[in-house]
C-alpha cells in the first residue's frame, strides 16, 4: 500500500538574484508551453532536442519535464502559468546535521545556468517523510518550483509505503536522561542504555574545548566539535536502532516520549534547570536521539507520540501519588504505597500510561 503526499517546502531566504532567476525560469517555461500549444499537433516537439528551437535556453531536464506536463493536460489551450518541474533524476533532497543536532535539509535542481542547491524550511511532520525518502521507504515523484506571494516553494510529491503495525495497542514509554541515557518500559519489560559513557566523553571534550578556547585555537576547536558531534550521532543511531528493535520484538504499536521542547527538563548531571528546553547545545544529543527514534519507528509502522513531561519523575506509576521533589539517587520510593522502583523506569511507565490528554 502506498500513500501519496505532497510536501510544500519553502525555500529558505533565497537571495534577490536567486528569486529573479526562479521567476525568469518560470516565465520561460510558461512561454515555452504556449508556443508549444500554438504549433500544429504534428509539429509539436516530443523531446528537449526537438524543442530547442522554440525554447529560450531552458535546461534539457526542465524542457523534457515541461513537455510531459503540457501533454498531460490534454485540454489546455493556453497556460496562464506553468511552473518548472523536475523529475526524480534531476531533483535531489539532501540531509545534513547541524552542530546542535538538528537536521538541515537542502534540495538541488537544474536552473538556468547551472544546478542550484538551496536550503529549505522543513516542519517536523515533513521531516518524517523526508527521512523515509532517504531511507528508501518512500518514492520520489515530481517536484515543482512554485511562487506563492513573495515566497518560493518546491512542491515535492512522494509515494510512501504505509502499514501500521497490526494488533491491539501496546504502548512503550521512553524516558530520556536522568540517570541513564534512555530507559524504555513496556508492560514490565525494560531496556536500559547507560548514559555513563556518553556523559564521560562529552565531559572530556568539554575540558579540551576550554583549553583550546583559552589558547584561542579556533580551527582545532572546530575539529574537536565536529569529532564530538560525529561520535554522539553514531551513539544515537545505535541506541535508536536497538530501541526500535526492542519495540518490534515486544509487539509495541506506539512509543511515547517526553516532549523536550516544552519540558521542565533536567540535565543528567542534575546541576541546573534550563529554560531553553531541549534545543540548546546541552540538549542536542537528546533531541537528535528522539528524531532518530521517530523516523526509525515510522519505518516499521510504529507511531510516536509526545507527552508533557511535567510530573513523570515525581509520580508513582502504581498509585499516582506525587512527591514534591525529585528523588535523589536511583530509586523512587512511594510514600503512599511503599513501592520502590528505578526512577527512570518509573518515569517511563508514567510516560507509557499518559492519557491522551497529556499528549502534545
Ligand atoms: Zn505509590
pLDDT in tens, 90-110: 999 999 988 887 889 999 999
Ligand 1 (ion): residues with CB under 5 Å are 316, 318-319, 321, 334, 336-337, 339
Q: Using CA atoms, how far apart are residues 107 and 119, in angstroms rounded to an integer?
A: 6
Convert the pLDDT of each residue in 20-51 to its tens digit.
999 999 999 999 999 999 999 888 988 888 88
Confidence bin at 115 (pLDDT 50/70/90): very high
Choosing from 125, 142, 161, the residue where a domain stops is 161
Percent of the chain with pLDDT over 90: 39
Look over the chain and give the mean of its residue pLDDT values, rounded to a whole number.
83
pLDDT at 344: 86
Number of domains the chain is built from: 2
343 CA to centre of ligand 1 in angstroms = 13
- 124 and 209, same domain (yes or no): no
317 CA to centre of ligand 1 in angstroms = 7
256 CA to centre of ligand 1 in angstroms = 22
318 CA to centre of ligand 1 in angstroms = 5
Convert the pLDDT of each residue in 170-204 to its tens digit.
999 998 875 678 889 999 899 988 776 667 667 77
Mean pLDDT, residues 253-257: 92
333 CA to centre of ligand 1 in angstroms = 8
- 310 and 270, same domain (yes or no): yes
- 217 and 240, same domain (yes or no): yes
For residue 352, CA distances in Å to 114, 187, 257 come to 51, 9, 8
Confidence bin at 266 (pLDDT 50/70/90): very low
| Predicted confidence (pLDDT) at residue 360 exceeds the cutoff of 60 | no
Confidence bin at 61 (pLDDT 50/70/90): very high
250 CA to centre of ligand 1 in angstroms = 26
Asked if residue 28 belongs to a domain, the reply is: yes
pLDDT at 78: 93
- 206 and 100, same domain (yes or no): no
258 CA to centre of ligand 1 in angstroms = 21
342 CA to centre of ligand 1 in angstroms = 13
Give the three-class secondary structure for 141. strand
Choosing from 101, 131, 161, the residue where a domain stops is 161
CA angle (221, 222, 226) in 5-degree steps:
120
Of the listed ranges 215-229, 256-270, 338-352, the least confidently predicted one is 256-270
Convert the pLDDT of each residue in 133-171 to its tens digit.
998 888 999 999 999 989 999 999 998 876 677 778 899
Mean pLDDT, residues 121-134: 86
322 CA to centre of ligand 1 in angstroms = 8
Asked if residue 109 belongs to a domain, the reply is: yes
- 244 and 318, same domain (yes or no): yes
| Predicted confidence (pLDDT) at residue 75 exceeds the cutoff of 50 | yes
Convert the pLDDT of each residue in 301-331 to its tens digit.
888 888 876 678 888 989 988 888 877 788 8
- 64 and 152, same domain (yes or no): yes
Asked if residue 191 belongs to a domain, the reply is: yes
- 144 and 271, same domain (yes or no): no
Pinpoint the alpha helices (H) of the chain.
16-38, 48-51, 60-72, 124-134, 196-215, 218-249, 284-299, 343-353
pLDDT at 296: 82
340 CA to centre of ligand 1 in angstroms = 8
pTM of the entire structure?
0.55
303 CA to centre of ligand 1 in angstroms = 29
Beta strands 303-307 and 254-258, pairing class: parallel
- 136 and 184, same domain (yes or no): no
For 310, the domain range is 171-353
pLDDT at 279: 36
- 185 and 156, same domain (yes or no): no
- 311 and 232, same domain (yes or no): yes
Q: For residue 348, what is the DSSP state?
A: H
| Predicted confidence (pLDDT) at residue 254 exceeds the cutoff of 70 | yes
- 145 and 181, same domain (yes or no): no
332 CA to centre of ligand 1 in angstroms = 9
Give every CB contact of residue 275 below 8 A, 6+ residues apart in sequence.
none
251 CA to centre of ligand 1 in angstroms = 28
Q: Using CA atoms, how far apart are residues 294 and 286, in angstroms rounded to an integer?
A: 12
Helices 124-134, 284-299: axis angle to 10 degrees equals: 60
CATH number of residue 297's parent domain: 3.30.420
Mean pLDDT, residues 339-345: 89
- 69 and 182, same domain (yes or no): no
| Predicted confidence (pLDDT) at residue 269 exceeds the cutoff of 60 | no
Amino acid at each position: 500500500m502506498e500513500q501519496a503526499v505532497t510536501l510544500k517546502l519553502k525555500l529558505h531566504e533565497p537571495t534577490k538574484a536567486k528569486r529573479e532567476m526562479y521567476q525568469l525560469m518560470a516565465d520561460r517555461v510558461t512561454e515555452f508551453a504556449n508556443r508549444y500549444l500554438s504549433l500544429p499537433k504534428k509539429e509539436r516537439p516530443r523531446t528537449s532536442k526537438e524543442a530547442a528551437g522554440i525554447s529560450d535556453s531552458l535546461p534539457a531536464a526542465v524542457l523534457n519535464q515541461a513537455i510531459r506536463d503540457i501533454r498531460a493536460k490534454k485540454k489546455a489551450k493556453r497556460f496562464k502559468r506553468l511552473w518548472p518541474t523536475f523529475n526524480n533524476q534531476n531533483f535531489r533532497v539532501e540531509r545534513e546535521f547541524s552542530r546542535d543536532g538538528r537536521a538541515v535539509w537542502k534540495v538541488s535542481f537544474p536552473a538556468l545556468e547551472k544546478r542550484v542547491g538551496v536550503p529549505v524550511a522543513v516542519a517536523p511532520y515533513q521531516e518524517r517523510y523526508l527521512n523515509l525518502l532517504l531511507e528508501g521507504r518512500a518514492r520520489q515523484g515530481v517536484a515543482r518550483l512554485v511562487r506563492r506571494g513573495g515566497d518560493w516553494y518546491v512542491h515535492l510529491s512522494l509515494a510512501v509505503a504505509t502499514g501500521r503495525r497490526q494488533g491491539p495497542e501496546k504502548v512503550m514509554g521512553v524516558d530520556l536522561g536522568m540517570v541513564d541515557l534512555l530507559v524504555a518500559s513496556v508492560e514490565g519489560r525494560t531496556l536500559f542504555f547507560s548514559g555513563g559513557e556518553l556523559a564521560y566523553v562529552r565531559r572530556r571534550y568539554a575540558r579540551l574545548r576550554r583549553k583550546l578556547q583559552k589558547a584561542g585555537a579556533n580551527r582545532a576547536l572546530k575539529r574537536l566539535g565536529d569529532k564530538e558531534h560525529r561520535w554522539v550521532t553514531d551513539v544515537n543511531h545505535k541506541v535508536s536502532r536497538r530501541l526500535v528493535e526492542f519495540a518490534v520484538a515486544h509487539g509495541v504499536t506506539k512509543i511515547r516520549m517526553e516532549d523536550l521542547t516544552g519540558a521542565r527538563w533536567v540535565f543528567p548531571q542534575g546541576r541546573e534547570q534550563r529554560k531553553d528546553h531541549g534545543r540548546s547545545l546541552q540538549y542536542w544529543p537528546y533531541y537528535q536521539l528522539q528524531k532518530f527514534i521517530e523516523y526509525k519507528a515510522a519505518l516499521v509502522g510504529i507511531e510516536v507520540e509526545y507527552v508533557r513531561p511535567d510530573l513523570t519523575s515525581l509520580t508513582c506509576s502504581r498509585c499516582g501519588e506525587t512527591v514534591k521533589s525529585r528523588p535523589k539517587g536511583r530509586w523512587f520510593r512511594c510514600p503512599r504505597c511503599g513501592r520502590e522502583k528505578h526512577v527512570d523506569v518509573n518515569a517511563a511507565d508514567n510516560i507509557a500510561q499518559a492519557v491522551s490528554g497529556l499528549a502534545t
